[in-house]
Chains A and B, each alone.
Chain A
Amino acid sequence: MQMGYLAAYEDGGIKVKSKLSKMDTLERVALGFSVSILIVAGIYWVGQINSVMELLKMAYG
């Protein structure tokens, strides 16, 4: 998988930089916020579905 652009150094060595370091502040904040939303929403809805399943088990066995 291609990781991003190759940065050339004076000694001729090259270093592969990940795409993350190419992002500016707003992009990093947006990515962080988005991932946080997905994690929190995922936890919330899995919890809610589990509660509903428990109620159904109690009601119908």
Chain B
Amino acid sequence: MELLPFFEWMEASLLGTLGKTYGGVYAIGQSLHLMALALLGGTVLVTDLRLLNVILRDVPSEVVADSAHRWFKVAVAAIMATGIFMAAAVALRMYYNEFFWAKMIALFVGILFVFGIKRPLLRRTHAEINPIVLKSVAIASIVLWFSVAATGRWIGFS
């Protein structure tokens, strides 16, 4: 499937023109994107470090996971909205950037992993889940979301 026409359309769209013309609007969008990333990273780390028994050991892991997941959903929605706006302004540059595609793949896998596997698993009583599975899921989640953040930052340097 050829995506170049879509990226060309995106850059020429109202959203792309807005971001390219008004630097201040782009800057606000990017700031919101980074704050949403911080929120997402926070919810991921709190949940996964609790599953690894590193932090908040006096709080049931089910409580930590459920509470953090609510804010994870808010963070993902904000990240997607601001990310689309930012990508529209520099769409063609993103199309030809390998780190943008690496980030998109990691983001897609991350969302699939959280909503398709991690959340259904963590809805159970955690004491009944195999500890090796819990720890593997936690470590994989940290590595995956680190990859999203790192490749995203790398876009800016490439």
Contacts and interface: CB of A to CB of B under 8 A. Distances in A.
Given A19-B132, A27-B129, A27-B130, A41 B137 contact: no
B58 to A, nearest CB: 26
Interface of B: 102, 109, 113, 117-118, 120-121, 129-130, 132-133, 136-137, 139-140, 143-144, 147
Nearest to B147: A41
Q: How large is the interface on A (under 10, 10 to 19, 20 to 34, 35 or more residues)?
A: 10 to 19
B147 A38 contact: no
A4 to B, nearest CB: 10
A34 B140 contact: yes
A34 B136 contact: yes
Given A41-B143, A44-B102, A34 B137 contact: yes
Given A22-B130, A30-B117, A38 B102 contact: no
Contacts, number: 49
Nearest to A36: B140
Given A31-B136, A41-B144, 13 more contacts: A19-B130, A19-B132, A23-B130, A26-B117, A26-B121, A31-B137, A33-B113, A35-B140, A37-B144, A38-B136, A41-B143, A41-B147, A44-B147
A7 B25 CA distance: 66
Contacts of B102: 44
A45 interface: yes
Contact of A26 (B120, B132, B143, B147): B120
A16 interface: no
14 contacts: A23-B130, A26-B117, A26-B120, A27-B121, A30-B118, A31-B132, A37-B113, A37-B140, A37-B143, A37-B144, A38-B136, A38-B143, A41-B143, A41-B144
